[in-house]
Amino acid sequence: MCAGAVLAQPTEPTPSAVTEAAVNTSASDFRPELKEALPQGQLIGKGRLTIWGFQVYDARLWVPAGFAAENYASQPLALELAYLRAFDATDIARRSLQEMRRSQPISENQAAQWTAEMLRVIPNVRKGDRILGVHRPGVGASFWVNGKASGDIRDEEFAKRFFGIWLSPKTSEPKLRGALLAGAGG
């Protein structure tokens, strides 16, 4: 997903913009895989990541009732990235780790393990591809690519850091975080 871009963003800090969309649900916001992944999920926010004028992806966040943004890491949620351009899986994993390191250091051994796990569940993406990541507190993360299950990463710390790319107060994209959490209340 590009966690910061899962998916991918440029390696240098660059001006970016987020286009916020109203959080009105429409047929295009419904994802059949959510029925399995997060049955009580409701769309609370969405936004578009644009960097240097290049549209990267549209992001959507679904959560169950009672979701508290400040405790995102201990609650179930589903985050979807709908890519607006192609990215190589290796670049997505590299950028995701870079963003995950914003919260605290990651050892080289841990980085290698998480990279291998991401490459197992996240493919190269083309324009129009969708990756849905589901946070499963106490377990890890599950992923769907274009509506089909692609695998799980059973590591609670990975899941916390991965979803923190978008939802942590330390994110590199605070405007996108705000757009995603717009309907969280409180």
**Does the structural domain 16-180 have CATH classification 3.50.70.10?**
yes
- Considering the entire predicted model, what is its pTM? 0.85
Q: Which residues pair with 51 in a beta bridge?
A: 16, 54
- Give the total residue count for the chain: 186
If you count DSSP H runs as helices and E runs as strands, how many of each does the chain have, helices first? Answer: 5, 7
Percent of the chain at pLDDT above 90? Answer: 75
**CA dist., res. 27 & res. 22, Å (int):** 14
- pLDDT (average), residues 148-161: 97
Domain boundaries, the chain: 16-180
